[in-house]
A and B are shown apart, each in its own frame.
Chain A
């Protein structure tokens, strides 16, 4: 990175952070610290919801996913629009009507304290671990850019995120996220345009797509009914709906975002903004990865994008086996390059049979190159403990540092940090809020004042930041960051969603039945996850269904019916009013 890059990076990050702290200075009321000032407009909510989900992992790891696996990953978002419509129509009005700080407060008022604590605990475990993964992503950038130790960058970027969140609270998160998203989108669009400009002369956009399609990188939709295939239309639509319903509807880091709206209308529009924009956004980020793949068919790629692996390789060039891998890989890449140029000439020269033959040869050479890469990775894994890090997460940052001009590098590194800071701040703020409201004020000090709760919330925020840093130190063991985050969510979200589905729709089930059902369902999910090989996208559906069915079953064996204790919210019959739940009137009346 040059001086210009540092000016762009430090300037943009400092401006956003100082603005957030200045706008939210001196807030001492718990209501405002946790939910903001309640005046947030729909566009800011929409960007805040988007920024919370779109962490640095999204912008770092998703292009790598596109590079390796193509566009198929976009199917995970097929359930998102449906889920957000359900949340806007059902969940959001209920949360606003009850005027809760956390989603789990609702479980306490609908069921009992133990169910509230169970829901909050599931969130804290899942989000606490997930926060570790989101700290890990910007650390990869720092380690690659500056050549620092990964552990050092994890600790330092984690501490920056903690200080930022503790100083600003929810208000700072919301007011700064729109500027962070502007930096992120600016960076990604710039990278996309520059990448198109860097493709070889003579390669049209149609040629680019044809080439990518020939390597199966444009297989965006797969209608296979095989449950073992990770990303299919069905797993995305059915499993993805439950995953997104649980994430946006029951995860406090998201609930807190749209509860900060000035009105129900602002919250709903913010969610609908995401429902419309999320699939195209993820598509373009994945397409960026696909274009990088095409770019590296004409430009020599490194044997490994992972900085640790590349460094190890550079330090051990005397090892004949490793050196041979590198030579063979470069040679086979040059061969692929020649064959693709022949394909392009034949294609433009109107010789389809020669084009087909040249492309088939290029495919074969590419496959051989990937085999060499896999063998080299396997050899390195056996000899070096640092070589377990996944290569896909390093593809985009390597491309940025090696191929883009100065100034743009600084902008894109700033985009990663903006994404990291915005999602991390939301997560830590939600973890601190949940621990304060659902545990501290429920169990330890019921009479705590607002000022006291704000201070305690800040301490809990810092505590969870440290837990996340601890977990991040082991995050290099995961397969791929963007997948790891979703896998982690899939294991816990189904049961969390089940608790809320029972609360909303099944009136006769009480706290004891749903509590034990949730515990049994979570145990079932753990068992299935470690014993089956089905796509992880099915687990939210299975967890939710198990929790709902077991609750109904268990309730029939319990003498007592549901104990509705909502009088203090003056909403005793609100949930079961057909006007509130007009989308699912059958469910309300059946149960």
Chain B
């Protein structure tokens, strides 16, 4: 069975997000959570406004 070594698997540019505006993964996660909060806020507003 041919498996790549662990080193081969994890060293292909993993730390860099490759995104021009967010360099760290924590920044990416923060954006995801903010977008989630934004969506929930919009859904709450929709519920309150039309119910």
Residues of A within 8 A of B (CB): 29-31, 38, 71, 74, 78, 81-82, 84-85, 88-89, 93, 96-99, 209-210, 212-214, 216, 218-222, 233, 262-265, 268-269, 272, 275-276, 279-280, 283, 450, 453, 569-571
Out of A31, A84, A93, A222, name the residue touching B10 (CB < 8 Å).
A93
| CB–CB A220/B12 < 8 A | no
Q: How large is the interface on B (under 10, 10 to 19, 20 to 34, 35 or more residues)?
A: 20 to 34
CA distance A254 to B15 in the complex (A): 23
| CB–CB B47/A220 < 8 A | yes
CA distance A85 to B36 in the complex (A): 11
Given contacts A263-B13, A265-B16, contact A81 B32 (CB under 8 A): yes
Kindly report which residue of chain B lies nearest to residue A213, judged by CB atoms.
B50
Taking the closest CB of chain B, its distance from the CB of A71, in whole angstroms, is: 7
Out of B5, B25, B32, name the residue touching A276 (CB < 8 Å).
B32
Given contacts A220-B43, A569-B6, contact A276 B35 (CB under 8 A): yes
What residues of B have a CB within 8 angstroms of the CB of A268 in the complex? 17, 25, 28
Taking the closest CB of chain B, its distance from the CB of A548, in whole angstroms, is: 24
Residues of chain B in range 23-47 having any CB-CB distance to chain A below 8 Å = 25, 28-29, 31-33, 35-36, 39-40, 43-44, 46-47
| CB–CB B2/A97 < 8 A | no
Interface string of B1-20 (1 = CB under 8 A from A): 11111100110111011110
What residues of B have a CB within 8 angstroms of the CB of A213 in the complex? 49-51
| CB–CB A99/B16 < 8 A | no
Kindly report which residue of chain B lies nearest to residue A441, judged by CB atoms.
B1
| CB–CB A99/B9 < 8 A | yes
| CB–CB B29/A89 < 8 A | yes
| CB–CB A280/B39 < 8 A | yes
B interface secondary structure, majority: helix
| CB–CB B17/A269 < 8 A | yes
| CB–CB A221/B9 < 8 A | no
Out of B9, B36, B40, B51, name the residue touching A96 (CB < 8 Å).
B9
| CB–CB A82/B39 < 8 A | no
| CB–CB B33/A85 < 8 A | yes
What residues of B have a CB within 8 angstroms of the CB of A38 in the complex? 4
| CB–CB B6/A74 < 8 A | no
| CB–CB A264/B12 < 8 A | yes
Cross-chain pairs A/B with CB under 8 angstroms, 14 sampled: A81-B35, A93-B10, A209-B50, A218-B46, A221-B47, A233-B40, A265-B13, A265-B16, A265-B17, A268-B28, A269-B17, A275-B32, A276-B31, A283-B39
What residues of A have a CB within 8 angstroms of the CB of B17 in the complex? 265, 268-269
Taking the closest CB of chain B, its distance from the CB of A320, in whole angstroms, is: 41
CA distance A263 to B9 in the complex (A): 7
- Identify the interface centre among A78, A216, A276: most chain B CB within 10 Å of its CB: A276
| CB–CB A220/B46 < 8 A | yes
What residues of B have a CB within 8 angstroms of the CB of A212 in the complex? 50
Taking the closest CB of chain A, its distance from the CB of B49, in whole angstroms, is: 8
What residues of B have a CB within 8 angstroms of the CB of A85 in the complex? 29, 32-33
Kindly report which residue of chain B lies nearest to residue A262, judged by CB atoms.
B12
What residues of A have a CB within 8 angstroms of the CB of B40 in the complex? 78, 221, 233
Kindly report which residue of chain B lies nearest to residue A268, judged by CB atoms.
B25
| CB–CB B50/A81 < 8 A | no
What residues of B have a CB within 8 angstroms of the CB of A220 in the complex? 43-44, 46-47
| CB–CB A272/B28 < 8 A | yes
Taking the closest CB of chain B, its distance from the CB of A565, in whole angstroms, is: 15
Kindly report which residue of chain A lies nearest to residue B48, judged by CB atoms.
A221
What residues of B have a CB within 8 angstroms of the CB of A570 in the complex? 6
What residues of A have a CB within 8 angstroms of the CB of B32 in the complex? 81, 84-85, 272, 275-276
| CB–CB A210/B13 < 8 A | no
Taking A81-B36, A450-B2 as known contacts, 6 extra A-B pairs with beta carbons closer than 8 A to each other, sorted by chain A number, are A81-B35, A82-B36, A85-B32, A98-B6, A264-B14, A265-B18
| CB–CB B18/A269 < 8 A | yes
CA distance A100 to B9 in the complex (A): 10
Taking the closest CB of chain A, its distance from the CB of B30, in whole angstroms, is: 9
